[in-house]
Structure 1
């Protein structure tokens, strides 16, 4: 097993057992223990996703000297594809930063000496049903007019408050543990559904009817030439009104940070569908994310 080998355990009992083994062996002093919560950028089965590349880097990464996680790491993974950061009115149980789910997570998180929290949250809050409601039946809108409707909806504030609720609970449970999130990148295949084949998601492809699209069909009221610009505004608005605002909030400045991934994947072939990069795309994102993650870990665990 390579020195950088990490273990990801979504089952709580398994995580507890391995954590105790590492503790008894005196290995926690050099092993990063990472708590992960998020959406499909951490959990999609369509390819090696952003978090998969962090947990299990490619052998060629080690050969090229790409910074990995030193002696490996222990990852607790609570993420689920399709979850929203704030309460999802269309599927309330698919909501991350709501009191019931936070209480459940913190009841677990507080009992282990985690070194870092990784978050991937907020993308699903601004697509699909939200876009249908925010843009309504208006037609002929410019990108700026449509974006103003998003601003007027208060959704950025709603998502920011949901993040804040989680951060307050995490800080209270384990003060001083850093939290690292990420922005999303600009989609290149707006309106394109994912191609479902047994080759990319296994036999589940035979049962699942579609993957998206979640944006294209809901922005038809925007002038076609303006749709790409609108989606960029949507992504920029999340970075400035949610992530940057949280980082600049005095309550969270010492704890919360994020990696700005915008502009990393500028080629259509780096995207699987309108919201998810390909495996190679996620690999490029993970290279950026990993560097920021390492900087947040205690020095002996990098």
Structure 2
């Protein structure tokens, strides 16, 4: 039986989804009234390739796609013009409707309804075109771990218990983030089941790749975000980049281990974990890792395509 805080998180996710649906019911009624007043509303459908049995009534139009995706998440889905979703659109032919917003925490995505509400809008947009999303993509957790409080996860190098504070990490990953992800997944499934689909969609989640905490932020320019990791290591007197990179390897493994438990829950048999680890280099010699990493947290124009390919493979295997 699931732990009580997981049961509570599932209920909270469903409650958030119900609140979103109530708000969207009003919004859709207002929109329908506005369209009814219009003298010549536009009606259209889309042609989709790559589906063995397209929806009845589809007509050929200029718009073609290999499939629809809807997404919520952080900067791995919302990073200039090079993120994972942009790669899936440009190089794999998907049409993506996204609620993702750089800097958002997974906790905030569901607690404040912001992304959950926008995700419902995305779902409605696809369904209103007579199509069915192939999957829901979710990216989150990085902003909950990295940032100003990152140093709190570390015991000082000078301490007899130097290194990761296991109790802090367990509380963050296996309690807070697990509960947040559980609520988010529960909310997403509730939205899908309450739609005209009447069923859940495949949901893909991921746990990032191993970063190098080298002190680089976005474009290396203030006031853009970053660095997120090196300041915490410096605060606790850890100055060796290789050792710090190895430490991040361990932390990312712990995060992925938690995510891999979610599809095992009865409520989330539709969830798939996309393992992105070891996709990007962390080789420090000659700064080789900088060929694929733009900064401490984000791949660059060479790295994002490699990450997106993992998602494309996962989508093709659904």
Give the alignment partner of residue 249 of structure 1, picking from 248, 261, 265: 265
1:26 corresponds in structure 2 to 59
Q: CA deviation at 1:195?
A: 2.8
Larger gyration radius, structure 1 or structure 2: 2
Aligned residue in 1 for 2:202: 178
Partner of 1:120: 139
Contact 2:157/2:163 (8 A) holds in 1: no
- Which stretches in structure 2 are left out of the alignment for 5+ residues? 1-27, 32-40, 48-56, 193-198, 282-287
Q: Partner of 2:46: helix, strand, or coil?
A: helix
Paired with 2:204 and 2:300, the residues of 1 have a C-alpha distance of 23
Q: What is the distance in 2 between the residues matched to 1:250 and 1:117?
A: 18
Q: Which residue in the other structure is 2:90 paired with?
A: 56
Q: Distance in 2 between matches of 1:230 and 1:142?
A: 17
The 1:141–1:229 alpha-carbon spacing in structure 2 relative to 1, beyond 3 Å, is farther
Once residues 160 and 201 of structure 2 are traced to their aligned partners in structure 1, the CA distance between those partners, rounded to angstroms, is 43
Give 1:135 deviation, angstroms. 3.6
Please give the TM-score of this superposition, normalised by the length of structure 1: 0.71
What is the RMSD of the two structures over their aligned residues, measured on CA atoms? Answer: 3.1
Deviation at 1:149, TM superposition (A): 4.4
Alignment of 1:108-257 (within 5 A): 108=121, 111=124, 112=127, 113-135=132-154, 138-140=156-158, 145-174=163-192, 175-196=199-220, 209-220=223-234, 221=236, 223-225=238-240, 226-241=243-258, 243-252=259-268, 254-257=269-272
5+ residue gaps, structure 1, are: 1-11, 58-67, 87-94, 197-204, 297-302
Q: CA deviation at 1:141?
A: 5.3
Q: Tell me what 1:62 maps to.
A: none
Cross-structure match for 2:96:
75
Does the CA contact (< 8 Å) of 1:134 and 1:153 recur in 2?
A: no
Output the CA distance in 1 between the equivalents of 2:174 and 2:218. 27
> 8 Å contact 1:189–1:271 — kept in the other structure?
no
Give the TM-score normalised by structure 2.
Answer: 0.68
Q: Shift of residue 19 of structure 1?
A: 9.3
Aligned 8 A contact 1:143 1:229 in 2: no
Alignment-derived partner of residue 11 in structure 2: none
Query: What secondary structure does 1:33 align onto?
Result: strand
Structure 1 residues 188 and 148 mapped into 2: Cα distance closer, same or farther (>3 Å)? same
1:142–1:186 Cα change, 3 Å: farther
Q: Measure the CA separation in 2 of the matches of 1:248 and 1:188.
A: 31
Q: Deviations over 1:10-46 (max 9, x none)?
A: xx99xxx99953287436998522111111111111x
Give 3-state SS (helix, strand or coil) of 1:56's partner: helix
Q: Deviations over 1:192-214 (max 9, x none)?
A: 22335xxxxxxxx7xx6233100
- Tell me how far apart the structure 2 counterparts of residues 153 and 20 of structure 1 sit (CA, whole Å): 50
Q: Are residues 1:259 and 2:274 paired? A: yes
Shift of 1:168: 1.4
